[in-house]
Structure 1
């Protein structure tokens, strides 16, 4: 085909487009010469990239948006654009066309904005501010605003007639984007900077659109994030599923938890606490090298959504480190890799741990003589599981009494109870809300979401999960001195282990200097020294501290039940909720209690961590 020949778009596309968008379905149509039209939902804008020679990476930048056309510059899309505008005009008073093109000139660092003077000043300011933010990473970036009717690449004809577009309420803005993310001579990609570049571009465009719509119309887009994608494409879903499969098959915590902790406690006590326990672990039935190969074959680099790509990339790094830890189980390297995964103990966390143990130097004696064995506790827990089974009829929420778990724990939607537990009846409700009303509920809410990471857990999700679970204990009036001391004791034990203390020295530190019982001192030390040294237990108190600060600052509690993620991911979760990628969560029913509402008010006002005990 010669360059003078014009590609014609099949007019039936418009009919299909109208039907899909009206029904709330995403639109994906192939255009001539490998072009693509994508419209995620009814939106008052579209980005256009016309090319003579496709810049693959620039196309990926454009694909961060929820509405775009990427097309050969020999294809006439004027009728297509007008058709899209007409479809959107049924809902919106105005329409914005952003034509974007790459500028590959060597050492050129200026973003060029072509638009009418004074027509959309807040939109232009949003574009300027967004592009200039790249200066933090890439020096000498400038933004140039041009008041002109020529809002398209020099070698092309305009997409729309400017005067005609005014009559239809359509604004065209041209954006010349310097390709800072690659070497203009060799075409070599600066991969790490490219990730930042397309994230900044994605957010900048959405903010600019929001400013335009906010000023020009009365449509209810309360947040710029609502202009992001709602529907998740196949490559993203596949990448998410493959990550979840590797994570689930790894069973990291089960494979790093001793199977003989009860037996070794008996031996430790028999040897008068002078012989270090010899812990045994489940056999590892996977090849870490093969799993890592699978991990890095997952095409996360092809995920166009910057937010979801960030989440998946973080989870991949966590899984890689956990696989390395399984390889190093029983060695000092296990601890060192774990420190890079779970972080070091922050100064404020250690200070709070010592503060708790100073205010409560001794364990609290039992206030109730009534005790529950495993079967009695299970009967109460089953009632709570029955309630949530009505909320999640497609999931099977069950419990199991067994002899190979320590205390009470959750595995997915199953509550596991040690057959030898004997607990204070007053702690029953608090433990149920910790395990069922938090861990199982967030798993179930995560199961409702399109991303499997929402129930498998984001990178570092344990920290917020445990903070949320402890807050649940406080809210229902069941957080005890002993429970708070336990969280503080774990931090002390991790600090001791990291500083080179032996198992026995840490055990003695806990029981002699901090007043823990022999059994609890052993239990804490076992958790900290398992596998070769696991610093993870320090994150529980850290999560509680972070959560209290978040709630005092007015943070939204309800969103935290959407799935399993860390406090550092809250803004990402709120973004995905705004975009309607995620569904609103089912909330724990204990939040409906009047006594819980009163305690929650105290959290909002801010209280000392030692005031959490009831």
Structure 2
């Protein structure tokens, strides 16, 4: 029995548009993330945790023992929410399996909400993609509850309280309870798709039947992150940060070996040394799989965390296999194959620009001149991120320019083309530091620590910034293309010296540049990561041409394939809108951004 006092308290919280999370009689669960015109209900004799998980993907659900009378609670919820939004949808769900059939049943009044029923039917039919045998049957009936139970609310009473009831019989195709088997991978796919189907159908109900406060179905998702999600996210970020993967796979003697390579007339393969690995990969993997990611109910957040965990696991294995052939093979599975369009893009660049740009007459800038330019940009962002320690250091132990979190490190030996200063500032500060700062504003630590494969979009977006401020050069594009050719050469079995010779003799890179590209690709035993830079630029160009919003890309550090997830989190108000780089306000940037939206070729970026 649920007390009237508790029911009254719940409904008063909803009137104030506060979230509700209550334990109902006999270990029942009520969760209403925000004022929503629907609730999913599961009444059980013995709780099925996997079926409960389907409901927990929603922002509003009630899971309760079938002996508990929830009629008054639902009537109160219906009246309270209908007063605010004009209508209320109750979706009762129950698990069943008839002789291993995969029939999904919808029990509803067809004439009452045809758009809603059509959305359910269409969505469930699409499950054929992951389970071809499934089929959907719609029953036009007053009986919208399991056969062994009484109705949640009598039809006449539901009308008076402003509620519509729909019943869903869900076949448990993701398990074989008689064999105590759960098909976990399939269950996650099914759960994710099922969650979206429900939200789309509910959105149709809201659009037609209510005073709609939502302009997208994704806004129906959860807004508040639970403790399990936040803890898993935080611990995952700490493991990733502690690993320092790139630092531990970058040679410490690259400069020394260059001198030796040159002395040996480029005929003897360099012998690279690396930092000692100050962690035990096996222990770190154990920590990874102790994280309760399987208890994260939200399909989107669960996918993000699982994806990052898999990336970290592969990186830890690569550290164990450093300086062996296995290092390369695991890396290929991590970064993916070099796609044909990327290879074609690299070839097109090197064909159109077969020679490097002459440097002899260029005005040079030293570390202090570059730092002066960069400091102005850093000072601008410091005004917007007052709680973060943005800064710049000129150092001896840095080669060139690099970013670490909110710090820009500049080599005291830096000498660069002065005309490239602004482009590199926008690359490093206006992209890498800014996206880190924007990520720091978010509740998920992965937003600044980086989703799996975030380098691709980060570097693509950073090179895009160079183009937008009119600072992208022929040499820069050639370098990105050369990295792709070198990575492809590695994959095809070429030696260090063969790849070096290809870059120098075939593509006319200087000896040092050819060495530098080859060193990066062959480090650790072979690392194809450098191919993602050009791939990232091409992904950004395709994204903008296809109508993508550039603002979304500055929200944090993630990959292009994560953009739909980020947009979902933005709709759900989990992720905040980013501060945009101020260079986007420039006329030249606006004109060039419009060109990208209209669509241009890689080789046209320098026109």
User: TM-score surpassing 0.5?
Assistant: yes
Match of 2:155 among 159, 162, 175: 162
Question: 2 CA distance for matches of 1:494 and 1:300?
Answer: 34
- Quote how far apart the aligned CAs of 1:24 are: 4.8
What is the TM-score normalised by the length of structure 2? 0.97
Matches within 5 A, 1:63-142: 63-142=56-135
* Aligned twin of 2:214: 221
Provide the C-alpha distance between the structure 1 equivalents of 2:149 and 2:89, rounded to a whole number of angstroms. Answer: 20
1: CA distance between counterparts of 2:80 and 2:92?
A: 19
Matched residues, number: 607
Contact 2:75 2:158 in 1 (8 A): no
Contact preservation (8 Å) 1:122, 1:211: yes
Matched with 1:3 is none
1:55 equivalent in structure 2: 48
| Alpha-carbon distance in 1 for matches of 2:16, 2:393 | 45
Q: Are 2:480 and 1:506 aligned? A: no
Q: TM-score, normalised by structure 1?
A: 0.96
For 1:320 and 1:297, the matched residues in 2 are separated by 13
Matched, 1:437 2:430: yes
| 1:413 alignment counterpart | 406
Of 221-230 and 262-271, deviating more is: 262-271
1:517 aligns with 2:510: yes
Equivalent residue number for residue 175 of structure 1: 168
What is the alpha-carbon distance in structure 2 between the residues aligned to residue 191 and residue 260 of structure 1?
A: 46
Instruction: Could you tell me which runs of 5 or more consecutive residues in structure 1 were left unpaired when the two chains were aligned.
Output: 1-7
Say yes or no: does 1:612 pair with 2:569: no
Task: Give the 5 Å matches for 1:78-477.
Answer: 78-366=71-359, 369-477=362-470
The range that moved more, 208-217 or 393-402, is 393-402
Indicate the SS of the match to 2:386: coil
Report the alpha carbon displacement of residue 375 of structure 1 after superposing the two structures with TM: 2.3
Q: 1:402 to 1:531 in 2, by over 3 A?
A: farther
Give the superposition deviation at 1:420. Answer: 1.8
Cα distance per residue 1:465-498 (max 9 Å; x no partner): 1111110000000000000000001011111122
CA contact (8 A) 2:456 2:559 kept: yes
The residue aligned with 1:587 is 580
On the 8 A contact 1:89/1:95 being kept in 2, the answer is yes
In structure 2, the partner of 1:601 is 594
* Distance of 1:105 and 1:145 partners within structure 2: 17
Post-superposition CA distance 1:449-468 (Å, at most 9, x none): 11111111111111111111
In structure 2, what is the Cα distance between the partners aligned to 1:318 and 1:137?
A: 25
The superposition leaves residues 44-91 of structure 1 with CA deviations (integer Å, 9 ceiling, x where unpaired) of 001111111111111111101100110111111112112222332342
Match of 2:533 among 534, 540, 543: 540
Inter-CA distance 271–401: structure 2 relative to 1 (3 Å threshold): farther
Contact 1:104-1:184 within 8 A present in 2 as well: no
Cα distance in 1 for partners of 2:12, 2:320 equals 54
Sort the Cα spacing of 1:202 and 1:613 in 2 relative to 1 into closer, same or farther, 3 A. Answer: same
* In structure 1, C-alpha distance between the alignment counterparts of 2:43 and 2:522, rounded to whole Å: 60
Aligned residues of 1:105 and 1:184 also touching (Cα < 8 A): no
**CA RMSD, aligned part only?**
1.5
3-state SS, counterpart of residue 153 of structure 2: coil
Contact 2:82 2:162 in 1 (8 A): no
Contact 1:484–1:613 at 8 Å: present in 2 too?
no
